């Protein structure tokens, strides 16, 4: 493994997990529209969406959102609810829409399906369903974040009976189609475009259950919160369902459940420690140079052309570290010396990868470490190993 690959592993690959948090502005007005459609009239009912919507609405209220809840909404109820929501969302700090139920892609457009829709032809969608584009538009004028969360990628019985008016492009695909939000809008799918999500056998769908476990976690930046949701869903479904988030935010950190403590944020601005002395060919102890909060095992998921790999860092109290990756061939194992103190860190690789060193700043927020290196900033998650 060469120097370029290693830097990518420590910094730029870590940056795939998101940008470092910065102190967030005081929370302003938050509004949300939550819809759970299960009692469909023309196709078999879905059992979980009303439960999912009710539970998500309660969580958003606890997070300070003024919530409008629609259960088993007709086209007119959804249309009127979305119009009223859009008026409330204009100028709000955050605006969120959550929809659980049937959704589908037709001719490149995505639609959320009301309970009274019949959709006998593909052209009926414009008059019987709500376009995702219109939903994104309603959350686009916020000061901080416009958020659309869709647990609407289920196997869709409307598609099987729908007549096609166009020979080539009218066929409905599995799940929802890919989108490209603009501005400060994020759109989260329960399953990535072109794939379907599970409804679940319990009270909540796998996606809603994972979202409920993570959405109220304090001190977790919103994009990283969705990464936690992704991992939980993939674990619960044995990798059958992969949630996906679309959109690109600025470097400003956004928190749904409150920013990290101010003391932790100040660590990144602390004076750097003295540079580590030159090292020989064997690790040496660095007594007193390891922040106790960093001692332990940390992991980060790294994307590559071959898929996802899991990179594991073991930070020892004596000032040494060990690194390995899973699958084994995705990155070369190595070890060396490391220091973490006063918000600054240094690393020297001595075995497995010689003559490389890096340095930067760090912050620790409970089970999350924010590591800034030469080429980027990203999140490490404390491992259960």
How confident is residue 158, by pLDDT bands cut at 50, 70 and 90?
A: confident
E strands in the chain: 30-36, 66-71, 94-100, 103-106, 109-112, 130-131, 145-151, 185-189, 244-246, 296-304, 307-315, 320-326, 334-341, 344-351, 356-365, 368-372, 377-382
| Helix (H) or strand (E) run with residue 72 in it | none
pLDDT at 154: 77
Q: What is the pTM of this model?
A: 0.63
- Percent of the chain at pLDDT exceeding 90: 43
pLDDT at 6: 40
Least confident of 51-60, 219-228, 237-246, 289-298: 289-298
Q: Give 72-103 pLDDT, tens digit per residue.
A: 999 999 999 999 999 999 999 999 999 999 99
Whether 378 has a pLDDT exceeding 70, the answer reads no
By CB atoms closer than 10 A (0-12, 13-18, 19+), residue 47 is: middle
Whether 27 has a pLDDT exceeding 90, the answer reads no
Contacts of 201 (CB under 8 A, 6+ apart): none
Indicate the average pLDDT of the chain: 80
Q: In what order do the strands lie in the sheet with 30-36?
A: 66-71, 30-36, 94-100, 145-151, 185-189, 244-246
> Nearest-CA neighbor of 325 among 50, 17, 5?
5
Least confident of 27-36, 77-86, 152-161: 152-161
Q: Give 226-261 pLDDT, tens digit per residue.
A: 999 999 999 999 999 999 999 988 888 899 998 776
Least confident of 90-99, 133-142, 163-172, 323-332: 163-172
**What is the DSSP annotation of 222-273?**
HHHHHHHHHHHHHHHTTTS---EEE----SS--BSS-PPPHHHHHHTTSPPP
Comparing 291 with 229, the larger pLDDT belongs to: 229
pLDDT at 371: 84
pLDDT at 347: 86
Alpha carbons 26 and 63: distance in angstroms, whole number? 14
pLDDT at 208: 96
Whether 2 has a pLDDT exceeding 80, the answer reads no
Least confident of 118-127, 186-195, 223-232, 272-281: 272-281
The full set of domains in the chain, from first to last, is: 3-19+261-382 (2.40.128.640), 30-246 (3.40.50.1460)
Whether 148 has a pLDDT exceeding 50, the answer reads yes
* Average pLDDT of the segment spanning 140-169: 78
Contacts of 115 (CB under 8 A, 6+ apart): 37, 38, 39, 40, 41, 72, 73, 74, 101
3-state secondary structure of 63: coil
pLDDT at 344: 85
Least confident of 8-22, 31-45, 314-328, 347-361: 8-22
Least confident of 4-18, 62-76, 193-207: 4-18
């Amino acid at each position: 493994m060469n120097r370029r690959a290693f830097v990518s592993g420590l910094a730029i690959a870590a940056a795939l997990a998101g940008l470092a948090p910065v102190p967030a502005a005081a929370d302003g007005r938050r509004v949300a529209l939550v819809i759970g459609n299960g009692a469909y009239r023309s196709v078999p009912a879905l059992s979980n969406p009303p439960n999912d919507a009710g539970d998500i609405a309660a969580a958003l209220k606890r997070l300070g959102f003024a919530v409008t809840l629609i259960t088993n909404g007709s086209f007119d109820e959804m249309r009127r609810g979305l119009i009223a929501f859009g008026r409330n969302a204009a100028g709000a700090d955050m605006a969120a829409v959550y929809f659980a139920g049937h959704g589908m892609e037709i001719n490149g457009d995505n639609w959320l399906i009301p309970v009274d829709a019949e959709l006998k032809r593909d052209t009926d969608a414009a008059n019987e369903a709500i376009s995702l584009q219109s939903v994104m538009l309603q959350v686009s004028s916020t000061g901080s974040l416009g958020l659309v969360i869709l647990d609407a990628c289920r196997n869709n019985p409307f598609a099987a009976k729908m007549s096609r008016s166009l020979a080539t492009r009218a066929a409905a695909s599995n799940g929802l189609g890919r989108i490209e939000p603009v501005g400060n809008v994020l759109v989260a799918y329960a399953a990535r475009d072109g794939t379907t999500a599970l409804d679940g056998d319990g009270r909540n769908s796998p996606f809603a259950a994972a979202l409920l476990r993570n959405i109220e976690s304090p001190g977790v930046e919103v994009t990283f919160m969705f990464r936690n949701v992704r991992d939980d869903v993939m674990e619960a479904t044995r990798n059958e369902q992969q949630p996906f988030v679309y959109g690109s935010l600025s470097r400003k950190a956004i928190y749904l459940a409150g920013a990290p403590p101010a003391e932790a944020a100040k660590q990144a601005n602390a004076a750097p420690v003295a540079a580590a002395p030159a090292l020989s060919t064997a690790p040496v102890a660095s007594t007193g140079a390891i922040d106790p909060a960093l001692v332990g095992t940390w992991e980060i998921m790294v994307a590559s052309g071959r898929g996802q790999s899991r990179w594991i860092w073991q930070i020892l109290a004596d000032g040494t570290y060990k690194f390995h990756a899973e699958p084994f061939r995705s990155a070369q194992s190595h070890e060396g010396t490391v220091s973490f103190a006063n918000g600054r860190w240094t690393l020297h690789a001595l075995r497995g990868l010689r003559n490389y060193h890096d340095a930067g700043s760090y912050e620790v927020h409970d089970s999350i470490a924010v590591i800034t290196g030469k080429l980027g900033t990203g999140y490490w998650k404390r491992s259960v190993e």
